[in-house]
Structure 1
Amino acid sequence: MTGLGDIAAVGADLRRGGFSRHGYDRAELELREWFTAEAGRRGLDVECDGNGNLWAWWGAPGDGAVITGSHLDSVPGGGAFDGPLGVVSALEAVDVLRAKGFTPGKPFAVVVFAEEEGGRFGVACLGSRLLTGAITPEAALRLSDSDGVTLAEAMRAAGLDPARVGPDQRALRRIGTFVELHVEQGRGLVDLGALVGVARSILAHGRWRVTVTGEGNHAGATLMVDRRDPMVAAAQVVLAARRAGSAVEGARATVGRLVPNPGGTNVIPSSVDLWLDARADDDARTRAVVAEITAAAQAAAADEGCAVTVTEESYGDTVVFDAALRDSVAGVLGGVPALPTGAGHDAGILAAHVPTAMLFVRNPTGISHAPAEFAEPDDCAAGTRALADVLEELAR
């Protein structure tokens, strides 16, 4: 896809591989400029709402619009397709529709949601959560990155006014239907031999911060029996996550980030922060997994003479996408399969407020959130055509 090629150098991460593009950092701001230019080249009028989301309107804005798009940020060292594929496909779907002589009979826009991955400020789908009121402005603006920069400071540096952050009923009224195209984050379509699919549901999922506090000391001068080492307890939490996630059918539990303080090779840390991602088919199972890991963390901390706190940073219950819209979209595409997904999306946040659907483009590796994430060019083109067909039907 031409658009993906245009941004292939933006945010390339030479250390991790893949791409690191986080909310309001240099790479993400460059991508926002790219999107604004591409939308302008198509005659779309771009506006930025108070929560940092970009809206490119084909014609006059209005209530009950057909909206499509995704996000441009990434996880640290993420793949090239997660987020940008949905944005590029949306813009190219506009090209396809225009080439057919189609003009929307309803208001129509392409959207880019801000900080979907939570890679900088820790809360996923931040732009859509703020828009819908799923997180308070006060809580959001206090979020900070690993350098201590708050969301409020980052927005201000990007030329946005933090005072405008918060629930946006006007923007929400404008969304009549939202359709998000995404690379599949799994092998469901490959195993079914299908090019494109639709989303049926999203697992209940959330993020928790686990802080283990012990006693910092000298690695060489402190006898093993005299230690209160939070790293030992933190290691037990990682293992507990693996056990708890494996014990519940369909569950997932992951510790993907661990930060010792102060972080010296010859220093027993005084504290260790680690972040738990837990997911399962429903709220009860997800909470049960987290409860088991929390109990294990408390026991491990006590054994080591440490203290532990577990703080929920974000959570989303099971999402079941609008059945009528899902079936309509699948029908437009000739009866493509409907799949569940373990990955969260802005579409999942919006689903509680407006009819929402998702299209998936197959991923031959099944790998996502990593440099090996991939989709064949022909499959991406098929996804664009499918999205254009769906949008044409919805926007007549």
Structure 2
Amino acid sequence: MEETLPDDFEAMWADLAPVGRSATSGGYFRQPFLSAERELVAWFVEQCAARGLRVEADGFGNTVAWWDPTVVEEVAQQPSRNPRSSRTDAVLTGSHLDSVLDGGAYDGPLGVVSALAAVDELRARGVVPTRPLGIGVFAEEEGSRFGLACLGSRLATGALSWDDARSLRDASGVALGDVLPGGTSDLLSSVGTFVELHVEQGRDLVDRDAAVGLASGIWPHGRYRFDFTGAANHAGTTRMADRADPMLTYAMTVLAANKQARLADQRATFGRVAVEPNGTNAVPSKVTGWLDARCSSEDALAALVEAVERQASDRASRDGTAVAVTAESVSGAVGFDPALAASLAEPRGWPVIPTQAGHDAGILQAAGIPTAMLFVRNPTGVSHSPAESAELADCLTGVTALADVLQGLL
């Protein structure tokens, strides 16, 4: 029986547009396992059901919908058989639905909506897959709630154990283990290739006048917590010379990170800060800042962080404060499968470019799953911001490009 296909790309995009959007900034708040993100996951499941796809989920919040008419028929004849138990050749596409705080519309959801639209296009072409095709939605890719980027894909691949993850807490003190059942995951056990489509988070494709490109690899990157401690005191009665103010040490460290990154042509950002006691009329007792650092090589990353830490320590000794640095997460350089990238890019004339942003694709590639990333042009290059954008024509070109790639792999 032929399925009735649901909404096209534009209609699906319109469905997602209002979910989790701030009326003030126009940005998105789709934090993992909270109402807006859960609404999007429910929407995804409904879209998959409308396409007759078989949906599976694990205890880590990840979801995969499978299209494989041959396997579906076999299972109908042998209900006790696990349809994926002996298969290791499945193709997986998809992305994530969560966002950074006050983020853009395209980072993540573009890959999910494009994957659904690509399945529609493949069916319209009369394609019948000879291997399973999955559409995946990975949980907590941004790390905006529990502080660890690509959390769902790390857990699904075994790069992170549940014992280590379950005690992670959000800003309200809620533990991940209180939100998810955890356990183990076999969602990726049959996957032989992963292709993720994503909006470009930069201007490389704009400069090349190309609507679509492929990723060559991901820069190594990390998140580092800087804890600056001093002595709380009265903002009015304490003489400047008598203060041990960690805010001064923090401020100098922010400037040092900016200078070191500019000198080395790398990336360094302090984008999050917490202050105690956080009073207008009080010298702080503690300032905690989180450094996001990204570099063209692992040696460059280590050198950058070491330089920032050294300058922070030197300044702390002058301010009468102390600083401790903790690496909360560090991801090494990832090179996507070069043979796969070449086979996809060369016949189509697509440029192959690096990216400084982390992605679930990088986690799967590092886990040994041959992976490719498609980028769709971003006219301004702005990302992780309400100003993030992509032209509809480029998005539709991306859908066709993804469908072409998947058809070749299937």
* Shorter-chain TM-score range: over 0.9
State, as a whole percentage, how many aligned pairs show the same letter: 53
Aligned twin of 1:292: 307
Aligned twin of 1:40: 49
1:121 aligns with 2:130: no
Say what the alpha-carbon RMSD is for the aligned residues: 1.3
TM-score by length of 2: 0.91
Aligned twin of 2:245: 229
Aligned twin of 1:345: 359
Aligned twin of 2:3: none
Q: Which residue of 92, 98, 102 maps to 2:127?
A: 102
Aligned twin of 1:148: 173
Q: CA deviation at 1:133?
A: 2.3
**2-side partners of 1:260 and 1:350: how far apart?**
36
Q: CA deviation at 1:16?
A: 4.5
In structure 2, runs of 5+ residues without a counterpart are 1-9, 72-82
After superposition, residues 65-144 of structure 1 pair within 5 angstroms as 65-144=90-169
Q: CA deviation at 1:15?
A: 4.6
**2-side partners of 1:89 and 1:3: how far apart?**
10
Cα shift readout 1:55-111 (whole Å, capped 9, x = no counterpart): 111134533210000000111111100000000000010111111121111011100
Q: Which residue of 301, 323, 335 maps to 2:349?
A: 335
The aligned amino acid for 1:371 is P
After superposition, residues 346-361 of structure 1 pair within 5 angstroms as 346-352=360-366, 353-361=368-376
Of stretches 209-218 and 354-363 in structure 1, the one that deviates more from structure 2 is: 209-218
**1-side partners of 2:297 and 2:142: how far apart?**
21
Q: CA deviation at 1:136?
A: 2.6
Aligned twin of 2:273: 258
Cα shift readout 1:198-222 (whole Å, capped 9, x = no counterpart): 0011111010011111111221222
Aligned twin of 2:33: 24
In structure 1, runs of 5+ residues without a counterpart are 156-160
Q: Which residue of 314, 322, 330 maps to 1:315?
A: 330
1:197 aligns with 2:197: no
**2-side partners of 1:109 and 1:259: how far apart?**
41
Q: Which has the larger radius of gyration?
A: 2
Aligned twin of 1:391: 406
Q: CA deviation at 1:234?
A: 0.7
Aligned twin of 1:158: none
**SS of the residue 2:187 aligns to:** helix
The aligned amino acid for 1:120 is R
**SS of the residue 1:343 aligns to:** coil
**1-side partners of 2:26 and 2:358: how far apart?**
23
Q: CA deviation at 1:228?
A: 1.0
Cα shift readout 1:92-151 (whole Å, capped 9, x = no counterpart): 101111111211110111000000000111111001111222223222111111111111
Asked whether the equivalents of residues 101 and 144 of structure 2 are also in contact (C-alpha less than 8 Å), the reply is: yes
Q: CA deviation at 1:173?
A: 2.6
The aligned amino acid for 1:190 is V
**1-side partners of 2:308 and 2:345: how far apart?**
39
The aligned amino acid for 2:236 is G
Aligned pair count reads 384
Aligned twin of 1:52: 61
